[in-house]
Amino acid sequence: MVGQDKNSELTGSAGPACQRLPSGIWGLGFVSMFMDISSELVHSLLPIFMASVLGASMVTIGMIEGLAEGIAALTKVFSGALSDYCGRRKLLAVIGYSLSALTKPVFPLATTIGWVFGARFTDRIGKGIRGAPRDALIADLTPVPLRGAAYGLRQSLDSVGALIGPLLAVILMLCLANDIRSVLWWATVPAFIAVCILILAVHEPDCPKADVKPRTRLKMANIKQLSRRYWLIVLLGAFFTLARFSEAFLILRAQDLGLAIGYVPLIMIVMNIFYSVCAYPAGIAADRFSGRVLLICGLAVLVIADCILALNKSAWITLFGAAFWGLHMALTQGLFAKLIAETAPVELRGSAFGMFHLVSGLALFLASLIAGSLWTNYGASIPFIAGGSCALLAALGLVLYHPKRNAIQ
């Protein structure tokens, strides 16, 4: 998959490659970490808050989760294209992160499911505004031979935040006698820290690394310039997402099996331990080894996770399913970002990330809606059986697929 660049400076150890990453990549990583502390503190309790406090059904929760991610994906298309047009990424990233930070106080104030939907919807718009420009900025800042490591590092720090957030939720739930509203107020602090780091510590490159037009026109015809290989990766990413619905269902599965409400965030903690620990090494591996093999491994791990979550009868064994789920994310998410960066023209990089996130977001909406319906009509284990079956089909397809030149290898 990855050609050997004659200027590549990769060494045999992770340490030197890590040290040569630009400071802006570390800044973006810490921005993601603090925002994820905030977001995952909320998200680890939000499904329970909606179901137990506000009385929402599983179908409603699935629809809210799917619509929220879908609107985020749709917004990424426009923000990515706009960042290409302006030639600058940071301003849009600041707007997106700031909008998400401003929604955090709404969750503890919510008295109806409509409040939660509005806050979740707006928060995801913020995510959509920042997502594609941020991912394109990482590619702008990073030398080609280190892109896998750069995306892996961001995913790793992002997952550290996603680990700390639920851990804080558990501690605060114990300290505040399971008062969910009081715990949700704490999510505002790291969100605003993330915005401050982005404004003060992350700077765009002074000049582009390639000779490109100073401004790319906003027009649909730009999509035609994206290669067939790019669209293959987009479609493959969508199929991966169909096999992996919202993590909210992991939390609900643990509660369904009897895990006490104060310990439910442990699901996200375990998932993000494996995600954060494995994402950076997986990113380095993506710079060196076959992406096709890594994708097959990621799907195989997802099948194992779904089997555990579907078949076990113990709430605590669900933690093992969450661990494999996190490992799957580590193996695949940074790799897809690297593949998009490699296959998109520099002047359309933001648009390419935006379109990828749009298709993936629509797939996540569909997957979450289907999962909620299957749960309601057929039982809690059926969504995981369906997801595992989808992942198994994708893995078999990649095993049987024989890549030609310029395909995923």
Residue 12 lies in a domain: no
pLDDT of residue 165 exceeding 70: yes
Looking at every residue in the chain, the average pLDDT score rounds to: 78
CATH number, position 316: 1.20.1250.20
pTM: 0.65
The tokens describing 69, both together, are: 């991610």
DSSP 222: G
| Domain count across the chain | 1
Average pLDDT for residues 150-165, to the nearest whole number? Answer: 82
Average pLDDT for residues 35-63, to the nearest whole number? Answer: 79
The CA distance from 356 to 32, in Å, is 19
3-state SS record for 202-218: CCCCCCCCCCCCCCCCC
* DSSP states of 254-310: HHHTT--GGGTTHHHHHHHHHHHHHHHHHHHHHHHS-HHHHHHHHHHHHHHHHHHHH
Residue 320 lies in a domain: yes
Of 188, 202, 212, 173, the closest CA to residue 30 belongs to 202
Q: What is the pLDDT of residues 312-353, one digit of tens each?
A: 888 888 889 889 998 988 888 878 888 888 887 777 777 788
Helix (H, G, I), strand (E, B) or coil at 347: helix
Residue 406 lies in a domain: no
Residue type, 22: P
Average pLDDT for residues 375-394, to the nearest whole number? Answer: 86
Residue 175 lies in a domain: yes
User: How much is the pLDDT for 1?
Assistant: 36
Report whether 146 contacts 21 (CB < 8 A).
Answer: yes
Residue 3 lies in a domain: no
User: How much is the pLDDT for 186?
Assistant: 93
pLDDT of residue 190 exceeding 80: yes
Residue 191 lies in a domain: yes
- Of the pLDDT bands very low, low, confident and very high (cuts 50, 70, 90), residue 99 is very high
Cβ atoms within 10 Å of 313's Cβ, excluding its own: 9
Domain that holds residue 166: 21-207+225-400
- Measure Cα distances from 155 to 17, 259, 278, 388, 405 in Å: 16, 28, 9, 24, 29
- Of the pLDDT bands very low, low, confident and very high (cuts 50, 70, 90), residue 365 is confident
Average pLDDT for residues 212-224, to the nearest whole number? Answer: 53
More confident residue, 397 or 409: 397
Residue 383 lies in a domain: yes
pLDDT of residue 301 exceeding 70: yes
Residue 214 lies in a domain: no
The tokens describing 21, both together, are: 């990453």
Residue identified by tokens 């293959």 is 232
pLDDT of residue 16 exceeding 50: no
